[in-house]
Structure 1
Amino acid sequence: MSLTTIKYTIKPDGNVEEEVQGVVGHACQRITKSIEDEVGDVVSRDHLASFFVTDSNPTETNIQNLEEEDWRGCCNSWECAI
């Protein structure tokens, strides 16, 4: 498992830029959703190349999702079911 880093940059115009490193696919949106919901409206998204990486082992990813949901204490998505 790689280290996940979320970097926030506050721009001079007051907008906040968010960059997620260490994850592939749609996991970046899943892990930042609760933060984005609290901060405000998402004005735009620019996806890095890692966002478009497809999963070569869906069972392993589902197990990882279950472990992450368990760590948070609940399963709020269909993605966490095997």
Structure 2
Amino acid sequence: MATETLEFTIYPDGRVVETVKGVRGKQCTELTAEIEGKLGNMTHRQETDEHYQTVENQSAQQQWESWGET
């Protein structure tokens, strides 16, 4: 299973860029909702390919990855 990572980049002008890795589907939005609310107005959201993967795809991906393990 992939490692779930939240990365925050804070710029001198106050902008905060949040990057989420290893979280598939709508779980990403649910995971970050509380902190986004505390950070203030969100001006832009860009979903990654992982955002569009479904739970079924995630299960298939986990199976595929486990087949490669010895």
The TM-score with structure 2 as length reference comes to: 0.71
Which amino acid in the other structure matches residue 46 of structure 1?
Q
Shift of 1:40: 0.4
Take 1:47 and 1:11, find their aligned partners in 2: how far apart are those partners? Answer: 21
User: Which residue in the other structure is 1:56 paired with?
Assistant: 56
Which amino acid in the other structure matches residue 53 of structure 2?
V
Take 1:36 and 1:5, find their aligned partners in 2: how far apart are those partners? Answer: 15
Could you list the runs of 5+ residues in structure 2 that have no partner in the other structure? 60-70
The answer to whether 1:39 aligns with 2:68 is: no
Take 1:54 and 1:38, find their aligned partners in 2: how far apart are those partners? Answer: 28
Shift of 1:34: 0.7
User: Which residue in the other structure is 1:23 paired with?
Assistant: 23
Q: Secondary structure of the equivalent of 1:34?
A: helix
Deviations for 1:17-61, whole angstroms, at most 9, x for unmatched residues? 00011110111110111101111011110111110112218xx8x
Query: Larger RCO: Structure 1 or Structure 2 (Cα < 8 Å, ≥ 6 residues apart)?
Result: 2
Equivalent residues, number: 58
Which structure has the larger Rg over C-alpha atoms? 2
Take 1:11 and 1:27, find their aligned partners in 2: how far apart are those partners? Answer: 26
User: Which residue in the other structure is 1:5 paired with?
Assistant: 5
The TM-score with structure 1 as length reference comes to: 0.62
